[in-house]
Each structure stands twice: as structure tokens, then as C-alpha cells.
């Protein structure tokens, strides 16, 4: 019975997280859009709830701590996106062959869970000047627009994600 309760609790939590995002990002709160959100979030929860909470042995307290850490990471990531935008703007407006040296960077990550690697890959791609091209197991291939950007991979971002998911 305890296993079933945990299973249902994590599905409900996944559904509520998705629905909360739906309401925030849709920007429209009326019966039609809420109903559509409930249907879509229900389908996505049914299809992919195992992805978000792979380790169902963690308690709700540990999940709450992860959520708080993730919010802090999100704020840090937004700042990194701003900084990267400024760097790309400088490359575009003040071209210097020495600075603009696109390259592929291969590295292995120490992140253990698939979800942590997923967050890492998407964080890299959200940051201007980098695009995650492939992730196979723990190996990443990333396109970096300049040597400065390439040198920073995997860097602080990987450490912060590891801290969010308590993998350090």
C-alpha cells in the first residue's frame, strides 16, 4: 500500500507542477484554457511521470529541498543567459578573429541521473553561444561560438546542477 501511495503522490506532484507551469505560461485564465491545461498535463503526466521522479525513494522533504535549490539555480541561470547575451553581442558588433573561434567541445559529465543531465543539456542550449549537439550516456558534445565559451565548459553550471540534485 505504501508503494502505491508513493506512486500516486509523485504522479499528482508531477501533474500539479505541469499544470502550474501551464497556467503561468499560458497567461490566460478561463474555463477553456484551464480545462485544456488539465487534459494536456494529464496526458503528459501519464506518459512521462517516471522521467521527472526517477528515484521515488527520496522523500517529499528531499524533493522540497531540490525544488528550492532549483529555483536558486534558475535565477543564476537567467543571469548567465544575460552575461552570455552580452558576450555574443560583443562578438557580433566588434568582430575579432582572435575571439570568434567556433569549435566542438567534447566532455564527460559527473552528473549521475538522466534528469540532471537533461537539465544540464538544456541549460547549455539556453545560454547564447552554446548548443548541446548530443548527449550519449555521460558524454556531451557542445558547439561553442568562441574559445572563451569553450573554456568554461562544463564548468560552474555542472557543479550547480550537481548541488541541486545532491550529486556532489
Which tens digit of pLDDT belongs to each residue from 12-55? 888 888 888 888 888 888 899 899 999 999 999 888 866 666 56
| pLDDT of 97 | 64
Average pLDDT over residues 5-18: 80
The per-residue pLDDT for range 90-106, each reduced to its tens digit, is: 888 887 766 788 999 99
**Nine-digit cell string for 150:** 569553450
pTM, full prediction: 0.74
Burial label for 158, CB within 10 Å (0-12, 13-18, 19+), is buried
| pLDDT of 56 | 60
Tell me the HSE value of 8 on the side-chain side, using a 13 A CA sphere: 5
pLDDT above 80 (res 167): no
Amino acid at each position: 500500500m505504501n508503494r502505491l501511495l508513493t506512486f500516486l503522490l509523485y504522479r499528482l506532484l508531477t501533474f500539479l507542477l505541469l499544470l502550474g507551469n501551464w497556467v503561468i505560461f499560458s497567461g490566460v485564465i478561463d474555463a477553456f484554457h484551464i480545462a485544456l491545461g488539465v487534459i494536456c498535463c494529464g496526458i503528459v503526466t501519464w506518459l512521462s511521470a517516471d522521467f521527472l521522479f526517477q528515484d521515488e525513494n527520496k522523500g517529499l522533504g528531499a524533493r522540497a529541498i531540490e525544488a528550492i535549490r532549483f529555483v536558486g539555480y534558475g535565477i543564476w541561470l537567467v543571469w548567465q543567459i544575460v552575461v552570455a547575451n552580452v558576450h555574443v553581442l560583443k562578438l557580433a558588433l566588434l568582430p575579432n578573429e582572435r575571439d570568434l573561434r567556433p569549435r566542438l567541445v567534447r566532455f564527460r559529465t559527473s552528473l549521475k541521473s538522466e534528469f540532471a543531465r537533461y537539465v544540464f543539456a538544456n541549460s547549455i542550449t539556453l545560454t547564447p553561444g552554446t548548443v548541446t549537439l548530443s548527449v550519449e550516456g555521460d558524454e556531451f558534445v557542445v558547439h561553442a561560438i568562441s574559445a572563451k565559451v569553450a573554456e568554461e565548459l562544463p564548468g560552474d553550471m555542472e557543479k550547480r546542477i550537481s548541488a541541486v540534485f545532491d550529486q556532489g
